[in-house]
Amino acid sequence: MSRARRLVEIVRVLKAAIPGSLTAHQIAERFKVSERTIYRDMAKLIDSGVPIEGEAGLGYWLAPDDGPPPISLTWRQAQILWRGARLIALTADEDAAEDAERAQETLEKMLGHQRVSRLETHPLLSLTDKLRPVEAVLSAFRKAMETGHPVRIIYVDLDEEDREIEGRAVSVTPIGEMSILTLSVDDRLHHLRAERIRKIRLRA
């Protein structure tokens, strides 16, 4: 049996086993191959998007869905998603960072090596001119955190438009040479780049 045929049959066998699972040993015996071959086959199927899950001692099983949701992206959208995944991989906690790295790997297969190489040379977040010095912004924001006073910010959004935001200072997160300020507005968190703040004022 060819490998391509075996991969199709493995999915069929896993479907037949729902809601149960099958060990690598059981699958290997069924197809008369080594367990190592099954491990490689499973890795190939998972990389291809087949929703197979596995756990030591339990074996492999199919997730409830028959497959991943269909995705239709433009090159621009795929690049934006890759950049977002890269940012999360650099800043999030361990579990989220690992998920973001896997998302990057999937998008890299779609984008190709040349596009990814170009993306890696660009800064994650763009800069804008005529803004407050970052040191002054951070100093004012940290003071707002210490006092608990609301802070009013004039923020330059990605469309280069001024936007006024008022709330309570929550945290400062450094990302390399950048700083992300977290502001609580009506119990919702807003994440702002210190480099994009035009004005910042504490309110008594």
We report the CATH number of the domain holding residue 8 as 1.10.10.10
Residues 111 and 141 in one domain: no
SS3 content of the chain, % helix, strand, coil (to 5): 50, 25, 30
**Is there a cis peptide before residue 19, judged by omega within 30 degrees of 0?**
yes
Mean pLDDT score across all residues of the chain: 82
> Is it the case that residue 47 has pLDDT exceeding 90?
no
| Domain boundary, last residue among 15, 39, 62 | 62
Q: Which domain holds residue 150?
A: 134-202
| Inter-axis angle of helices 3-17 and 24-31, nearest 10 | 130
The answer to whether 120 touches 154, Cβ cutoff 8 Å, is: no
98, part of any domain? yes
> Is it the case that residue 125 has pLDDT exceeding 70?
no
44, part of any domain? yes
The 10 Å Cβ neighbour count of residue 163 is 13
pLDDT at res. 127: 47
Residues 57 and 88 in one domain: no
pLDDT at res. 168: 92
The answer to whether 125 touches 193, Cβ cutoff 8 Å, is: yes
End-to-end CA gap in the chain: 76
Residues 38 and 12 in one domain: yes
The answer to whether 49 touches 1, Cβ cutoff 8 Å, is: no
126, part of any domain? no
> Is it the case that residue 16 has pLDDT exceeding 50?
yes
Select the more confidently predicted residue: 124 or 113. Answer: 113
Residues sharing a CB contact under 8 Å with residue 30, sequence separation 6 or more, in sequence order: 13
Question: What is the distance of C-alpha 190 from the center of its chain?
Answer: 18
143, part of any domain? yes
3-state secondary structure of 166: strand
Q: What is the total count of domains within the chain?
A: 3
pLDDT at res. 159: 67
